[in-house]
Structure 1
Amino acid sequence: MNFKNLGIDEDIINVLKNNGITSPTIVQEKCFGIINEGSDLITKAQTGTGKTLAFLLPIFENISPTSKDIQALILTPTRELAIQITDEAMKLKKAKDLNILSAYGGKDISAQIRKLKGNIHIIIATPGRLLDHLSRKTVDLNKLKILVIDEADQMLLMGFKKEVENIISHTPKARQTLCFSATIDSQVKKLAYKYMNDPINISIQNDNVTLDNIVQQVVETTDRNKQDALFNVIDEDRPFMAIIFCRTKIRVDKLEESMHSKGYNCKKLHSDILQSKREKVMKSFRSGDIQYLIATDVASRGLDISGVDHIYNYDMPENAESYIHRIGRTGRAGENGYTCLFTAKKDMEILSEIESHIGFKIERRNINI
């Protein structure tokens, strides 16, 4: 299957080709026709499957540049994800000149209001900032054609249910609704079915695709020795770019302080950091100026960064799904990746759950401390 077979416009195909994308991923292949036909859709897909283009491609095919109405709204839980989706949409803009507005907190709202006075076709937004615009009446969603709720599980986890419902109440009932989520639990289903019209369900089983290119290892240690174990491992590995996951913002702060004092080239990323600084950190990490990004799960959710060859789970993920999310940040686009999980005795139950989920016992790595 190629993009031409899917019925995608030649100009868009050329833009994709120029960005190194020559054939659709499974999620793009499965979703395009359904979205193109106007059906509502619930898609279970992990980060790294190409789901952003799965909804952007049909949006670009189906909305009109001559209309002055907002025709597509993409709701996302985090600013970082809004920025990332906007970057992808801006690439496609070279093929079809649609006006795109990225609306999220921490960015000058007056600049967004000025831009909204022109005709905007696509808005990519976090719930809080969009509600701000709706209350100021600077955004009118009455002619909206397509609503995308991206990372729906994370949206609910972060407490945005009421905000999302409020936003939906400002949109026409005849709209098309697309819901993308890494996990489809009862909360996601409840939200989806309440606002969707006979949705088609698609599940992309990509765990093995994600894991095939990734060498996974476990270092068994203690809480007291964990930091020394991490330093020992990264000194041996000398990764080009790595993400180190911690459980809480305080743990991120403490680890970054320790790593700085040891001379490691690192920066931290979590929700208490000012948005302008977070953007600066992400820009530096993407360009390779920072070697180690120390982050919480929420801050890193949905981030697609090429060049990350190592993932270190300094703290245990909450569950197997979270583990898959974390390690999916490496081994992208056919590249090889490496991930190391640091476990203490108290973590053994979750480790067993992870090993059961992926279907094999993860190799133990011995280190000298």
Structure 2
Amino acid sequence: MVGKDVQVDGILTSGCPEVLAATPGRLLDLLGLGALTLASVSFLVLDEADKMLQLGFEDQLDAIAKAIRRDRQCLLFSATFPLRLRQAADRWLTSKDKVVIRVGAVDIGGAEEGEEAAEQGDARIEAASGSRSSELASTLTVSKSIEQIVHVCAEHKRFRKLIRFMDKIRQEEKDQGVRQRALVIVFCNTIKTLKAVASFLGKHKHPCAPLHSGIPQAKRERALSEFKAGSLQLLIATDVAARGLHVKHLRYVINYDFPPNLEQYCHRIGRTGRDGESGTAMSFFTRNMAPLSRDLVLLLERSGQKVDQHLRALAEGKDGQPAGSDEDSHEEAGAEIPAAKMQEPAEE
């Protein structure tokens, strides 16, 4: 394990490990000091590759790739495959034969075939919405085990709608005699909003715990442990929980704030619907997010999901709520924010 706290002497005296896990910067430091060589490395594995590019590690990763022999095997793990990552992959993947594995599908063939499959997803987006930044020119995939519900609403109505949705979940559990309550994560974009949402839920008899970067690590780990154990069923989080968090039997993800881009949306809702289980993702979509509506509609349609009529109207450049309509009328009947079918979690 190579990190900032690992001393060079420890690396030099540990012999020749078969697997080396490292951060890019620290690994390059050790290479520069001559503490190790990558000349005999056969496999290069990059986890959360898209995130590392976002954090500015592209130059470091290029340098590491150049330090490893070209007949290596390279594996990239990423929940999304944005254009920038595909361009970098062309440099890092030295073999002509590439395998692209997506949720529910495997594409095997030459470089041209893999790129063509990725480009087809981009072409559908670009044809519908015209030019856009490379951040949004992505091939996005969401597991079909996740029911996606995107509800267009005014910002000031989200508190009430959130409570209504939570009340519906808990009432259905009570009616069905479910012993273990479903686990729920509510995502917010800022710590300030998170605190307000957590306070509001607590006052309405939905006990919860916050999870954000301003909380000491020990307290965050304790909240996560309680959440995974089921003693805590409701977690209010920022995007600190959007990646790398795997919680069994997590049934619901709620986007109180819709994320700033669709890649982050996929990361967030991907916390549910794992290990063959079904999940539900409820997202409140306010009209200030209208620039994302076209791509979001395409993503929902590609995943076989129903599209809210007001969201489709926004995507078509309309107001999003026809004059004289009541966006809450069909919600009151239970059609707009259905709760997923309750199932008691399997025994461990």
Q: What's the TM-score bracket when you normalise by the shorter of the two chains?
A: 0.5 to 0.7
Separation (CA, whole Å) in 2 of partners of 1:117 and 1:293 = 41
1:217 lines up with 2:182 in the alignment: no
Greater CA drift, 344-353 or 333-342: 344-353
Q: Which runs of 5+ in 2 are unaligned?
A: 106-140, 171-180, 310-329, 334-348
Alpha carbons of structure 1 residues 348 and 189: separation in structure 2 relative to 1, 3 Å: closer
**Residue-by-residue CA offset, 1:161-193 (whole Å, 9 max, x unaligned):** 233234435444443222233333332133222
Separation (CA, whole Å) in 2 of partners of 1:240 and 1:340 = 14
1:333 match: secondary structure: coil
Q: Match of 1:230?
A: 162
How far is 1:304 from its partner?
2.7
1:224 match: secondary structure: helix
Q: Match of 2:109?
A: none
Aligned partners of 2:242 and 2:267 also within 8 Å? no
How far is 1:349 from its partner?
4.3
> What is the 5 A alignment of 1:96-245?
101=1, 103=2, 109=6, 113=10, 117=14, 119-128=16-25, 130-131=27-28, 140-206=37-103, 210-238=142-170, 240-245=182-187
| Residue identity opposite 1:233 in structure 2 | F
If you compute each CA radius of gyration, which structure gives the higher value, 1 or 2?
Answer: 2
How far is 1:146 from its partner?
0.8
Aligned partners of 2:254 and 2:281 also within 8 Å? yes
**Residue-by-residue CA offset, 1:129-177 (whole Å, 9 max, x unaligned):** 5456656766553432211112222211222223323443544444322
Separation (CA, whole Å) in 2 of partners of 1:130 and 1:291 = 40
Alpha carbons of structure 1 residues 146 and 311: separation in structure 2 relative to 1, 3 Å: same
> What is the 5 A alignment of 1:1-369?
101=1, 103=2, 109=6, 113=10, 117=14, 119-128=16-25, 130-131=27-28, 140-206=37-103, 210-238=142-170, 240-260=182-202, 264-297=206-239, 299-359=241-301, 360-362=305-307, 366-367=331-332
Aligned partners of 1:284 and 1:290 also within 8 Å? yes
TM-score of the pair, normalised by structure 2: 0.62
Greater CA drift, 279-288 or 143-152: 279-288
| Residue identity opposite 1:332 in structure 2 | R
Q: Which runs of 5+ in 1 are unaligned?
A: 1-100
How far is 1:363 from its partner?
5.2
More relative contact order, 1 or 2 (CA 8 Å, 6+ apart):
1
Supply the RMSD in Å over aligned alpha carbons: 3.7
Alpha carbons of structure 1 residues 117 and 269: separation in structure 2 relative to 1, 3 Å: farther
Greater CA drift, 148-157 or 243-252: 243-252
How far is 1:309 from its partner?
0.4
Q: Match of 2:113?
A: none
Q: Percent identity?
A: 32
Aligned partners of 1:221 and 1:229 also within 8 Å? no
How far is 1:307 from its partner?
1.0
Separation (CA, whole Å) in 2 of partners of 1:367 and 1:140 = 65
Q: Match of 2:117?
A: none
Separation (CA, whole Å) in 2 of partners of 1:156 and 1:178 = 15
Aligned partners of 1:323 and 1:354 also within 8 Å? no
1:201 match: secondary structure: strand
Alpha carbons of structure 1 residues 264 and 171: separation in structure 2 relative to 1, 3 Å: farther
| Residue identity opposite 1:236 in structure 2 | K
Aligned partners of 2:71 and 2:95 also within 8 Å? no
Alpha carbons of structure 1 residues 198 and 212: separation in structure 2 relative to 1, 3 Å: closer
How far is 1:312 from its partner?
0.4
How far is 1:301 from its partner?
1.5
Greater CA drift, 250-259 or 299-308: 250-259
1:148 match: secondary structure: strand
Aligned partners of 2:12 and 2:35 also within 8 Å? no
Alpha carbons of structure 1 residues 215 and 193: separation in structure 2 relative to 1, 3 Å: closer
| Residue identity opposite 2:169 in structure 1 | D
Aligned partners of 2:211 and 2:240 also within 8 Å? no
